Chain A
Amino acid sequence: MSEHAVQTDSSKEGLESFVYDDQIVRMFSWATIIWGVVAMLVGVIIAIQLAFPAANLGIEFLSFGRLRPLHTNAAIFAFAGNAVFAGIYYSTQRLCKARMFSDLLSRLHFWGWQLIILSAVITLPLGITQGKEYAELEWPIDLAIAVVWLVFFGGNFLGTLIKRRERHLYVALWFYIATIVTVTILHVFNNIWVPAGLVHLIKTGEFAGPTFLMKSYPIYAGVQDALMQWWYGHNAVAFFLTTPFLGMMYYFMPKAAERPVFSYKLSIIHFWSLVFLYIWAGPHHLHYTALPEWATTVGMVFSIMLWMPSWGGMINGLLTLRGAWDRVARDPVLKFFVVGVTFYGMSTFEGPLLSIKVVNSLSHYTDWTIAHVHSGTLGWNGFMTFGMLYWMMPRLFQTKLWSVKLATTHFWLGTIGMVLYILSIYTAGITQGLMWRAWDETGRLAYPAFVETVTVLIPMYWIRVIGGTMYLVGAILALYNFYMTWRGRPDKYEETVHYAAPLSANYAGDPPAKSRLNANAGFGHKGDKFLQGNWHRNWERKPLRFTLYVVVAVSIGSLVEILPMFMISSNVPTIASVEPYTPLELAGRDIYVAEGCFNCHSQMIRPFYWETKRYGDYSKPGEFIYDRPFQWGSRRIGPDLAREGGRKSHLWHYEHFKNPADTSPGSIMPRYPWLLSKKINFPAIQGRVDANAMLGVPYGEMVKYDPETGIGYAVTAAQFQAQVIAMELEEQGGPPMDETWDKQVIAMIAYLQRLGIDLYKEAPVSEPVSGEEASE
């Protein structure tokens, strides 16, 4: 067991005794491995669907657009999240020489978090989503996350720091602090919304269904929403999937290798540079979009500056293994760590590479991004987690690991599976990216039909299925090993009592630095003392101040990017002809969001000739001012839809939703038969319009109610438009209008036919015409 913790000193006078809470670590570890298997299983299911769309069995709850968010949320928040909590609870107690501040908070944290995951498992397949990647969970769950994360977890962690018996905070704890405060900031500011359903219920007393009660609209729209979302999204990667894992690396790797950390100085510089620089990099997810170019350039240069801060972590990890390499060959724990850290190094080199605009113009919207994130999650997060779990298992269950051989098998299955996954998907991404942009000297697109660029990828998708399945099988082996080890536990866990002196209030301070310079250099002496880092040693004694400095570090980049986007109107020039969605279109848009269409379809045409040739004019910032949430997407599994309006007939859309392969042979889009049978929730439409009006969308009379019938004008307008579209559909050869007019497909068609057409309209006469499109 722990070699140093137990004080065998005969005189325990003045020492406090304490016992670590390992039960909570066991709970989080179980949750990690169980949710991990679930997350990977869902991943394999949706990977199969991409190669073979009928695999969703025609069940709406299993359709790709709804399950993909479940996969990402489960992988990030359930698998990686629980791993982070297990690692933090185990290491923080030992690094602080203190039991967690409150057992009650620990349990509230554990059960609260599992309930949040469970609610995600229920709501996401039901199509209850905010429609923003990795921030899909709707407002009541957002509130629960804020409480569980900040109050239960953050409060418990900070309380432990305060009652610690170790004077200085070890580097792992710095990373945990950065994780807790930054994730709080990101989560809160990306999830400010108007809960439309709740407002409607309170205002009118009308209950328009449980799904609508969960519906919210973000206060940000279009370009601003995109900036906030990718500020959040990128830094969720930074502060949920990177900083806590670096902290865990700093604890578990030296423990497992029994070697000192390579360089304390490197820890300091890479920690602060990472925390300060990461927050700026978000806009690299929005290169060539309608986001102002200056912001994307900022995102790009900061991403490149991030290369070395990230590699600082990798170097400190790998060089810590010096002198222990012989053991890597024997010990699966170290194997997992070595490959995990190596994948960290690879993906943090690839990240800056992908942030370079010219590279991004090829990689964006393709599987290259998917390959990149999977080398991060499978390689770095997954392998660090498995390494940590295998190291903790015998210690938590106070017995030997059931099978080292099985763990080694897991390692090889996972590694080979990962390589198969990543290589096939890199190939798919680069292939498709090159096909999209291929145009010959006569100016024609080499692959004008989008579906040609999809069918060619199917073999690669099958290889991904094989690789992903191998990784999943590896995780199941880990679960089995975990279970068998657990079965070998003692009847009663031994609870080692530890002794340590409390921190005295009157600490003399750390020994001051002495200048190492001989010459009488004046200023040089000061500089040399600074470089020795004793100032940082002081910070490490003061957790509250340290936390404050982290908040300052992450706030600077955030404010510099976010404030101008809201305060300087030239960043989002308005277009006089762009008007709000009609009530029916808005309802259709909400169905689009709920079905998760954005998981496969972008709505953002970039200013490249080949892209405008395929999709039409590039997108302008002013076109999105009523888009709550923005739906620019990040992957084109299907074609861009930014200018879908008017491109095809209603009938085409109707038939396409019924069976996409009929209208587009080779299409891998799933069927949407339920859109043809489920009814539009007309009463909720008034609530949707009212909520948008609250946010400043000029809906005018639409927010009023007919004094005679009490029916909202927005509802009446929507019903009228639905009948018009259904009539046109019938005229085009579709089914009779009385069969279709109140079905969801009509609202969807209304929305799709509106996309991107306002740019070409005359400005409404009632508005003062600005006379220019002001696209630049």
Chain B
Amino acid sequence: MADPTHKTHQEELLDHNYDGIQEYDNPTPGWWHLIFWGTIIWGVLYFVVVQMTALVPNQHERFEAVRTAAIEKQFAALMTIDDDLEKVLTVMGDENWLIQGKSVFAGACTLCHGQNGEGLIGPNLTDEYFKNATNLIGMIDVVTNGAANGAMPANKNLLTDNEIALVVGYVASLRGQNLEGPRGAEGEEIPPFPEPITADDGG
């Protein structure tokens, strides 16, 4: 703070007196004016450039650009595969895809099927018994459109096709772990899934 003994100019008291309160006639500090008017000029320019010209994409255009790039980056290798079953088998055969499938699972499935698929409100996914599907294509349908009168919700508005392939691949990979869960076996024992497609197969 400024030391009153080192004043550069004589401060002038105004002849104001309100219940003993007096006021100096000091000017407003220069740096205050500089920043104040600076922010106003900046504000006007910013608004004009951002809102009234096409120089800067708007927030939705920026979002679409990020989304397109992210999806391209994430799924480029999967997007070339048209066949749903082949897609799931490719996921099952690649550790990196499975890690991603686990992430989708953690976001969309664990609240009902448990942290590791052991079952909670929904069935155990680690045993040999399946309630609403008999094969991988059926599982894609269950994840996409739901099943059992809403007990299994539809995810078509939440997950993209590729994410559904990831999560189905991940769930398929859990089979046979036979983790202990709160529910018994539900549904029918279904035939084994086809062999995963690994990078070697593709060669």
Q: Which residues of A contact B (CB under 8 A)?
A: 2-5, 91, 94-95, 97, 166, 168, 170, 250-251, 254-255, 260-267, 269, 273, 288, 293-294, 297-298, 301-302, 304-305, 307-309, 311-312, 315, 318-319, 321-323, 325, 441-445, 448-449, 607-609, 612-614, 616-618, 643, 646-652, 655, 663-665, 728, 731-733, 757, 759-760, 775-776
Most buried by A among B2, B26, B42: B26
Contact B29 A309 (CB under 8 A): no
B27 within 8 A of A: yes
Number of A-B pairs, beta carbon distance below 8 Å = 202
B8 interface residue (CB < 8 Å to A): no
Residue of B nearest to A267 (CB): B23
Q: Which of A91, A265, A442 contacts B25 (CB 8 A)?
A: A265
Instruction: For A444, list chain B residues within 8 Å (CB).
Output: 74, 99-100, 103-104
Provide the residues of chain B in CB contact with A617, threshold 8 Å.
Answer: 157
Q: Do residues B67 and A609 form an inter-chain contact, with CB atoms below 8 A?
A: yes
A307 to B67 CA separation, bound complex (whole angstroms) = 35
Give B contacts to A, CB under 8 Å. Answer: 1-4, 13-14, 16-29, 32, 35-36, 39-40, 42-44, 46-47, 50-51, 58-60, 62-63, 66-67, 70-71, 73-75, 96, 99-100, 103-104, 106-108, 110-112, 115, 120-122, 146, 148-158
**Contact A264 to B70, CB < 8 A, known contacts A293-B59, A647-B158, A664-B111:** no
Known A-B contacts A260-B23, A264-B16, A265-B27; the reply to A442 vs B96 at CB < 8 A is yes
B187 to chain A, nearest CB (A): 14
Task: Determine the chain A residues whose CB is within 8 A of the CB of B44 once the complex forms.
Answer: 301
Q: Closest residue of chain B to A357, judged by CB?
A: B59
* A442/B107 in contact, CB under 8 A: no
The 6 closest A-B pairs by CB, nearest first: A443-B74, A448-B107, A301-B43, A444-B103, A308-B36, A607-B63
Nearest-neighbour CB distance to chain A for B11, whole angstroms, equals 9
> Known contacts A322-B4, A648-B111; is A95 also within 8 Å of B66 by CB?
no
Q: Which residues in B have their C-beta under 8 angstroms from that of A273?
A: 36
CB distance from A286 to the nearest CB of B (A): 12
Apart from A2-B19, A664-B111, what 20 extra A-B contacts exist at CB < 8 Å?
A4-B17, A166-B18, A264-B23, A265-B26, A269-B28, A315-B29, A315-B32, A319-B2, A442-B74, A442-B99, A443-B74, A449-B106, A608-B66, A609-B70, A646-B146, A648-B112, A648-B153, A649-B150, A665-B115, A757-B157
When distances are taken between beta carbons in the complex, the residues of chain A under 8 Å from B28 are 263, 265-266, 269, 312
Kindly state the separation between the CA atoms of A266 and B150 in the bound complex, as whole angstroms.
65
A607 touching B60, Cβ below 8 Å: yes
CB of A651 within 8 A of CB of B121, answer yes
The answer to whether A650 touches B14, judged by C-beta atoms less than 8 angstroms apart, is no
Closest chain-B Cβ to A653's Cβ sits at a distance in Å of: 10
Structural contact, A646 and B154, CB atoms closer than 8 A: yes
**Are A663 and B120 touching (Cβ within 8 A)?**
yes
User: Which residues on B sit within 8 Å (CB–CB) of A264?
Assistant: 14, 16, 23-26
In the complex, which residue of chain B has the Cβ closest to the Cβ of A265? B28
Residues in A whose Cβ lies below 8 Å from that of B27: 263, 265
A325 touching B1 by the CB < 8 A rule? yes
Least distance between B131 CB and chain A CB atoms (Å): 12
CA distance A347 to B29 in the complex (A): 21
Residues of A near B58 (CB, < 8 A) are 293, 776
Contact residues in B for A250 (Cβ distance below 8 Å): 21
* Contact call A449/B63, Cβ cutoff below 8 A: no
**How far in angstroms is the closest Cβ of chain B from A596?**
23
A297, B151: Cβ atoms closer than 8 Å: no
Q: Are A260 and B39 in touch, CB under 8 angstroms?
A: no
Contacts of A262 in B (CB 8 A): 24, 26
Q: Which of B32, B67, B154, B158 meets A311, CB within 8 Å?
A: B32
Q: A307-B39, A728-B149 are in contact. Are A655 and B121 (CB under 8 A)?
A: yes
A255 and B63 contacting across the interface, CB-CB below 8 Å? no
- Whether B104 lies near A616 (C-beta < 8 A) is no
Chain A residues with Cβ under 8 A from B4's Cβ? 322-323
> Once the chains bind, are B21 and A612 in contact (CB under 8 Å)?
no
Residue A646 contacts which of B21, B32, B153 (CB distance < 8 angstroms)?
A: B153
Whether B35 contacts A307 by the Cβ 8 Å rule is yes
Residues in A with CB closer than 8 Å to B151 are 649, 651, 731-733
Which of chain B's residues have a CB closer than 8 A to the CB of A5? 19-20
Contact of B32 among A293, A312, A760 (CB under 8 A): A312
CB contacts (< 8 Å) of B104 on chain A: these are 444, 448
- For A728, list chain B residues within 8 Å (CB): 149-150
Residues of chain B within 8 A of A448, CB atoms compared: 103-104, 106-107
Q: Is the CB of A308 within 8 A of B106?
A: no
Q: Is the Cβ of B32 less than 8 Å from the Cβ of A297? A: no
Residues of B within 8 A of A260 (CB): 13, 21-24
- A residues near B25, Cβ cutoff 8 Å: 263-265
CA distance A264 to B71 in the complex (A): 59
Q: Which one of B14, B70, B149, B155 contacts A731 once the chains associate, using CB atoms below 8 Å?
A: B149
Cβ distance B31 to chain A, nearest Cβ, rounded Å:
9
Tell whether A304 pairs with B42 under 8 Å between CB atoms, given A323-B4, A449-B106, A732-B151.
yes
**8 CB-based A-B contacts, threshold 8 Å:** A5-B20, A94-B18, A263-B28, A264-B14, A265-B25, A322-B1, A663-B121, A757-B157
A607 to B65, CA, bound (A): 11
Residue of A nearest to B152 (CB): A649
A759 to B100, CA, bound (A): 28
Check if A732 sits within 8 Å of B35, measured CB to CB: no
Given A260-B24, A264-B14, A444-B100, decide whether A650 and B150 contact each other with a Cβ distance below 8 A: yes
CB distance from A348 to the nearest CB of B (A): 13
Q: Which residues of B contact A288 (CB under 8 A)?
A: 59
- Report how far A302 CA is from B73 CA in the complex, Å: 38
The reply to whether A95 and B19 contact each other, CB–CB distance below 8 Å, is yes
A196 to chain B, nearest CB (A): 31
- Residue of A with least CB distance to B103: A444
Are A663 and B111 in contact (CB-based, < 8 A)? Answer: yes
* B157 near A95: Cβ-Cβ < 8 Å: no
Partner of A263, one of B26, B46, B75: B26
On chain B, the residues within 8 Å of A294 by CB distance are 51
Contacts of B51 on A, CB cut-off 8 Å? 293-294, 297
Q: How far is the CB of A388 from chain B (nearest CB, A)?
A: 15
Partner of A301, one of B26, B47, B148, B154: B47
Within 8 Å by CB of B35, from A308, A323, A663, A759, lies A308
Cα of A273 to Cα of B110 in the assembled complex, Å: 53
Smallest CB separation, B50 vs chain A (Å): 6
* A295, chain B: closest CB distance, angstroms: 10
Please indicate the chain A residues that have their CB under 8 angstroms from the CB of B152 in the complex: 649
Whether B40 and A305, one on each chain, are in contact in the complex, defined by CB atoms closer than 8 angstroms, is: yes
> Which residues of chain B come closer than 8 Å to A304, judged between CB atoms?
39, 42-43
Closest B residue to A318 by beta carbon equals B1
CA distance A444 to B166 in the complex (A): 11
Closest residue of A by beta carbon distance from B112: A652
Across the interface, do B153 and A443 meet the contact criterion of CB distance under 8 Å? no
Most buried by A among B17, B103, B110: B103
Give the residues in chain B near A4, CB-CB below 8 Å.
17, 19-20
B12 CB to closest chain A CB (Å) equals: 10
A91 CA to B21 CA, complexed, in Å: 11
Contact at A266–B47, with CB atoms within 8 Å? no
B residues in contact with A322, CB < 8 Å: 1-4
Min CB distance B201 to A, Å, is 22
The closest CB in chain B to the CB of A309 belongs to: B36
**Which residues in B have their C-beta under 8 angstroms from that of A267?**
23
Provide the bound-state CA to CA distance between A263 and B152, in Å.
Answer: 69
A538 to B: closest C-beta gap in Å: 14
Q: How far is the CA of A255 from the CA of B19 in the complex (A)?
A: 9
